[in-house]
């Protein structure tokens, strides 16, 4: 009888395609990680330093940046380590930890975007009552945005933690729950059904909130078209861009993990698997930093002050 307890580590096979260019890949991923940290820390710092930005909209944006740091840190240090590693192995506990952090990042990102859509709904549809409504709800929303994904995924992830594994090769650059479950020795039909149900649990409430919010925003703007409403509608542009960007990433991740992608070029597979973990944390600070005038002005003021200090030295 096979001893199923022997499998305590897994091989991330996608790293073998980088063997000939390890230093180049390492430098690329390091630059990406440093860029993500710099952009998001800068955005958080600007919101923290300027009291005029201590409003619900910017507090939610700050949480989006924190989640970007959380997700990229769940991935990039492990990627950098595995690029230069000769074996490209990952231990079972670390693989399970990575699964939990990456999946909770994904759910939290979508939950924060849903909360931001509600914020825009209140700001445009109830402008006079915006501060009264959101000042009482923003703290509860922030607590919910973090606790809900952490607890909701943990309930489902308990099924995976109980599995024993017979195979060792994960055809990816990082651990994801679906690929790990495929390596189990026992029948995983219950886990697969629970996984499909969990996808609905993790996405439907957020989708309903986003569509509900923007349906009312469009209705208000159509019924009472004015310059003030148009100006308010423009504040939704960065949020919509962030939703579209993240939705593309989720679609790519689901498509490449659920369907046979063996015929795709190696670099295409890398792009599809890394998109939702790298592009949103990189692009969100740029989208909001350039699109929202208040943040853009604060950033320009900060850099101009730094330039004057350098010139005086």
Q: For 186, which DSSP code?
A: S
Q: For 2, which DSSP code?
A: -
The pLDDT tens digits of the residues spanning 202-260 come to 888 999 999 999 998 888 877 776 666 666 677 788 899 999 999 988 888 877 766 76
**What band does 71 get if pLDDT is binned at 50, 70 and 90?**
very high
DSSP character string of 275-309? HHHHHHHHHHHHHHHHH-HHHHHHHHHHHHHHHHH
Per-residue model confidence (pLDDT) at position 196:
79
Beta bridge partners of 39: none
Per-residue model confidence (pLDDT) at position 3:
47
Per-residue model confidence (pLDDT) at position 309:
57
* φ/ψ (deg, to 5) at 89: -100, 155
**What band does 103 get if pLDDT is binned at 50, 70 and 90?**
very high
Q: Give the chain's mean pLDDT.
A: 86
Name the strand (E) or helix (H) holding 57: helix 56-84
**What band does 4 get if pLDDT is binned at 50, 70 and 90?**
very low
In angstroms, rounded to a whole number, what is the distance separating the alpha carbons of residues 170 and 184? 12
Mean pLDDT for the stretch of residues 38-52: 88
List Cβ neighbours of 216 (8 Å cut-off, separation of 6 or more): 121, 125
For strand 9-12 and strand 89-91, is the pairing parallel, antiparallel, or unpaired?
Answer: antiparallel
């Amino acid at each position: 009888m096979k001893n199923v307890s022997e499998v305590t580590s897994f091989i991330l096979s996608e790293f073998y395609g980088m063997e000939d260019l390890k230093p180049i890949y390492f430098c690329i991923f390091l630059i990406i990680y440093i860029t993500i940290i710099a952009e998001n820390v800068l955005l958080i710092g600007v919101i923290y330093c300027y009291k005029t930005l201590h409003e619900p909209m910017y507090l939610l944006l700050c949480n989006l940046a924190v989640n970007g740091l959380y997700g990229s840190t769940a991935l990039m240090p492990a990627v950098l380590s595995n690029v230069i590693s000769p074996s490209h192995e990952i231990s079972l506990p670390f693989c399970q930890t990575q699964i939990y952090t990456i999946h909770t990042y994904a759910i939290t990102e979508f939950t924060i975007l849903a909360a931001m859509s509600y914020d825009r709904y209140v700001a445009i549809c109830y402008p006079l009552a915006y501060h009264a409504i959101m000042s009482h709800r923003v703290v509860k929303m922030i607590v919910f945005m973090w606790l809900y994904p952490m607890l909701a995924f943990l309930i489902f992830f308990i099924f995976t933690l109980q599995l024993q594994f017979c195979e060792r090769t994960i055809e990816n650059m990082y651990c994801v729950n679906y690929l790990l479950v495929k390596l189990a020795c026992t029948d995983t039909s219950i886990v697969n059904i629970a996984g499909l149900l969990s996808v609905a649990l993790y996405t439907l409430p957020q989708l309903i909130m986003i569509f509900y919010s923007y349906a009312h925003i469009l209705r208000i703007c159509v019924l009472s078209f004015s310059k003030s409403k148009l100006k308010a509608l423009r504040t939704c542009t960065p949020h919509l861009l962030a939703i579209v960007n993240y939705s593309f990433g989720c679609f790519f991740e689901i498509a490449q993990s659920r369907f046979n992608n063996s015929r795709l070029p190696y670099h295409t597979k890398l792009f599809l698997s890394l998109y939702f973990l790298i592009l949103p944390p990189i692009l969100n600070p740029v989208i909001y930093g350039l699109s929202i005038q208040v943040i853009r002005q604060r950033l320009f003021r900060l850099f101009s002050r730094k330039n004057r200090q350098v010139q005086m030295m």
